[in-house]
């Protein structure tokens, strides 16, 4: 939890080490901060934001004590959540809705988050690039389908009457 911190302007960030052992700071918005408070409360912690230097692990090991310390454990936890969602959908008679989740991976989740930031939320590419830890915007641009959306919208605006004389 101590990897969350507030800067001098009151903005919240999460410090992490990603691919290539690169350290980066990820912006944390108000919606995520509210979710973090609920998560803390669910774990019987104070429903406040983390204090500087707090040693409580963000994610506990499933077996034993201490923080999750490997990507293998993270992948297992995410897959466990996907499987639980699939089982819940099947139980609710929504087997067709499970198709995407049955193919989902941790990388798919990352890809979806980056794509949604760009294409649904309209976040600037440079902001998404930095949060994702990409070395340059060209990598982040691979996730951006706003040009495809615009192309489809322009085609959708065509009317059959436009082609009659």
The pLDDT tens digits for 66-78 are: 888 888 888 888 9
Q: Give CA–CA dist 21/59, Å, rounded.
A: 20
Q: Is the pLDDT of residue 41 over 90?
A: yes
Helix/strand/coil (H/E/C) assignment for every residue in 55-92: CCCCCECCCCCCECCCHHHHHHHHHHHHHHHHHHHHHC
Predicted local confidence at residue 162, as pLDDT:
65
For residue 117, being part of any structural domain is answered with: no
For residue 4, being part of any structural domain is answered with: yes
For residue 92, being part of any structural domain is answered with: no
Predicted local confidence at residue 42, as pLDDT:
93
For residue 68, being part of any structural domain is answered with: no
Q: Is the pLDDT of residue 40 over 90?
A: yes
In a 3-state reduction of DSSP, which class is residue 103?
Answer: helix
Q: Give CA–CA dist 162/119, Å, rounded.
A: 30
Predicted TM-score of the model (pTM): 0.72
Please count the structural domains in the chain. 1
| Residue 39 domain boundaries | 1-58
């Amino acid at each position: 939890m101590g990897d969350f911190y507030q800067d001098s302007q009151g903005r919240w960030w999460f410090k992490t080490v990603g691919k290539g052992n690169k350290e980066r700071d990820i912006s944390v918005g108000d919606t995520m901060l509210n979710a973090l408070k609920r998560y803390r409360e669910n774990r019987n912690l104070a429903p406040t934001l983390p204090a500087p230097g707090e040693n409580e692990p963000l994610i506990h090991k499933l077996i034993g004590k201490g923080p999750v310390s490997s990507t293998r454990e993270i992948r297992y936890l995410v897959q466990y959540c996907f499987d639980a969602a699939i089982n819940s959908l099947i139980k609710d008679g929504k087997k067709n809705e499970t198709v995407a989740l049955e193919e989902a991976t941790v990388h798919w989740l990352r890809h979806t988050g980056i794509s949604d930031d760009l294409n649904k939320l309209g976040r600037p590419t440079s902001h998404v690039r930095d949060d994702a830890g990409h070395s340059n915007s060209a990598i982040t641009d691979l996730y951006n389908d706003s040009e495809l959306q615009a192309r489809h919208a322009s085609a959708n605006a065509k009317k059959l009457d436009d082609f009659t004389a």
